[in-house]
Copies of this chain bind each other. A is one copy, B any other.
Amino acid sequence: MATENTVTTLERMANLLRIRSIESTQAANSGHPTSCASMAEITSTLFFNVMRYDPQNPKNPAADRFVLSKGHCAPILYAAWAEAGAFPVADLNSLRKIDSDLEGHPTPRLNFIDVATGSLGQGIGFAAGMAYAGKYLDKSDYRVYCVMGDGECSEGSVWEAFWFSSFYKLNNLCGIIDVNRLGQSEATPLQHEMETYRKRVDAFGWHAIIVDGQNVTELLDAFKEASTIKDKPTCILAKTLKGAGLKGIENELDWHGKPLGDKAAGIIADLKKLVNEETLIRPEIAKITAKVAEIKKSKEIKLSSPPNYDGKKEIATRLAHGTALEKLGKSCEHVIALDGDTKNSTYSIKFHDSFPKRFVECYIAEQNMVAVAIGIATRQRYTCFVHTFAAFLMRAADQIRMGAISFTQVKYVGSHAGISIGEDGPSQMALEDFAFFRTVPNIVCFYPSDAVSAERAVELAASYEGAVYIRTSRPNFPIIYKNDEVFHIGQAKIVVESSADCCTVVAAGVTLHEAVKASEILKKIGKAIRIIDLFTVKPIDRDTIRKSVNATHDRLLIVEDHYLEGGLGEAVMAALADQPNITIAHLAVREVARSGKSAELLDKYGIDAQHIVNAIEQLIENKT
């Protein structure tokens, strides 16, 4: 039982946090003070009684984690950290200013934030990843807390995370839903139907506790109860009021995302009486009790053995990826793989079979899989490779976008890209993946064309300090490179060349092999071409391409198994935009594709060897 003094102090702290939230949003003249107010008691209870952490060292790996899924409540989160001593309280009024890291929604520019939030429904997936890491990888006793809004519980990603967390019995995870009844533009669909929330949470395998979210005693009891549950996560369903404690605003619609304006001064004056700051002794922060092993990762993670192909057999890059991943697993015990029930297609199964304890089966829930990976990868302890068909990574586009804002270093691996997959048809063919992934700031996008380069792409990905996308292919490809070939990020390879080349062809994946076939057809009629394997689509090897084009009569053909927009073609054209006098042709997929044999599709959509031959002849005709 909490003492009366503890309860009173936490109530006063809650009102102090309300004041800070109102003040900072007044100073910013924007923000969400009413959404902060409903979670004031939740926040004071967590930060000043329940959570074990070190405000002076927020990244302590043994500390409890906190994720604010309802990221628009950043002001009260910042207030809690400031009042806990992480930074001066006076800084709170720099909220949302361009020279402050106290942004409108939390981002890891702040050392006490692990993941960016603000796109709703994602926080609980990140938290599930952290809890998974705590229980199964770190094998530590730290706990993970995540505050969600009620409105965001309409997002399916929330229920993916609930499913995942109960399946893996993440009893170290405690979610809190701030059921304040009101969304942005109207009431939430369930309003205050607390029993419906309980039924849903319970059905998804969590321990549910309904509390009055403005009642500190009930909250303290609930957090205590949560800590005793041994076989499942706990969700505290906190019935609250939007704008709780703000006179004239509490429980009223049309106060979403607005500072209090004229009403602020009066409300702050009222709250100050409740806080009585002069006599307020701030509670001590609970000490960290969990132990976590230090992670000793070398800066470079190497393949345990080099590629080993005799060149006689064709190998799919997806298979080579699996081989390389298994080798990384041998070299480094902090490499983790995740898959969404496609491991026998993406070949992450090779890692799964060798290192079952470092493999996370996420089933068919790509959004949650990406969120879990981002969660596991926080604090740079584990290197996570996420797998599914490239087409289905698009399901997690918004998580990947938010991952970029979190500066995550997750490695995304998409298999079965392009029309070359054949009979399964367009729903399974990624043709827009590079357009999307290339927008991620500082990402490296690999597109390996044979087994040797695929293995090296995986190796380079592991050590790269940032996000990575690797596009692998379904068909078997001939081996192009010797086993000792050296690869670098941003370095293309010239795979066919002569002094008589009449044109440069830039390709990767299946189209590289079509280009090689085209060069053999052309050779028979006395024409030679230079062929560049792009290897990384971002960053792009501008110099190699430019020099090659200049050396081949300023003729360039780009051919890709991707839609016309945003892929290799536009990347290369943008890189060469400053080069005068180049004649460029571009072969790519221009319409919704269909089922058929791989070779038939490459022909039908105009990216096979014969179309390359024709395009080159056309280029030569145009420019002689």
Contact = CB atoms under 8 A, between A and B. Distances in A.
Interface of A: 28, 30-31, 71, 96-98, 100-101, 103-105, 107, 109, 116-121, 151-152, 154-160, 163, 167, 183-186, 188-189, 196, 199-200, 202-205, 339, 341-345, 349, 361, 363-368, 391-392, 394-395, 397-398, 401-402, 404-405, 407, 423-428, 431-432, 435-436, 438-442, 538, 563-566, 569-571, 573-574, 577-578, 580-584, 586, 590-592, 594-597, 600-601, 604
Given A167-B189, A391-B401, A435-B439, A96 B156 contact: no
Contacts of A571: 565, 570
B391 A394 contact: no
Nearest to A100: B595
Q: Which of A105, A199, A361, A397 has the most CB of B within 10 A?
A: A397
A344 B184 contact: yes
8 contacts: A98-B594, A151-B341, A183-B341, A184-B342, A200-B200, A391-B401, A404-B592, A439-B565
Q: Which of A345, A363, A442 has the most CB of B within 10 A?
A: A363
Contacts of A158: 156
A395 B341 CA distance: 21
A425 B204 contact: no
A71 B426 CA distance: 12
Contacts of A398: 391-392, 394-395, 397
Contacts of A199: 199, 202-203
A298 B186 CA distance: 34
Given A363-B188, A441-B591, A395 B397 contact: yes
Q: Shortest 3 CB-CB distances between A and B: which pairs? A: A156-B156, A118-B427, A98-B596
A594 B95 CA distance: 12
A441 B592 contact: yes
A427 B116 contact: yes
A542 to B, nearest CB: 14
B344 A185 contact: yes
A441 B279 CA distance: 66
B185 A342 contact: yes
A360 to B, nearest CB: 13
Contact of A436 (B345, B397, B402): B397
A580 B580 contact: yes
A423 B28 contact: yes
B349 A98 contact: no
A193 to B, nearest CB: 10
Contacts of A366: 155
Contact of A401 (B31, B363, B432, B601): B432
A440 B565 CA distance: 9
A100 B200 CA distance: 44
A499 to B, nearest CB: 25
A431 B439 contact: yes
A580 B306 CA distance: 45
B574 A107 contact: no
Contacts of A601: 98
Contacts of A364: 120-121, 151-152, 154-155, 183
Given A397-B397, A397-B398, A441-B592, A157 B156 contact: yes
Q: Which of A397, A565, A581 has the most CB of B within 10 A?
A: A565
B349 A185 contact: yes
Given A105-B427, A365-B156, A566 B604 contact: no
A431 B404 CA distance: 12
A401 B394 contact: yes
A566 B566 contact: yes
Contacts of A188: 363
B590 A441 contact: yes
B573 A578 contact: no
A389 B428 CA distance: 27
Contacts of A97: 595-596
Given A156-B160, A203-B203, A118 B428 contact: yes
Given A154-B363, A398-B397, A436-B397, A343 B425 contact: no
Nearest to A399: B395
A427 B117 contact: yes
Given A151-B364, A154-B363, A185-B341, A432 B427 contact: no
A411 to B, nearest CB: 18
A154 B583 CA distance: 50
Contacts of A118: 424-428
Contact of A103 (B96, B402, B425, B586): B425
Nearest to A361: B186
A592 to B, nearest CB: 5
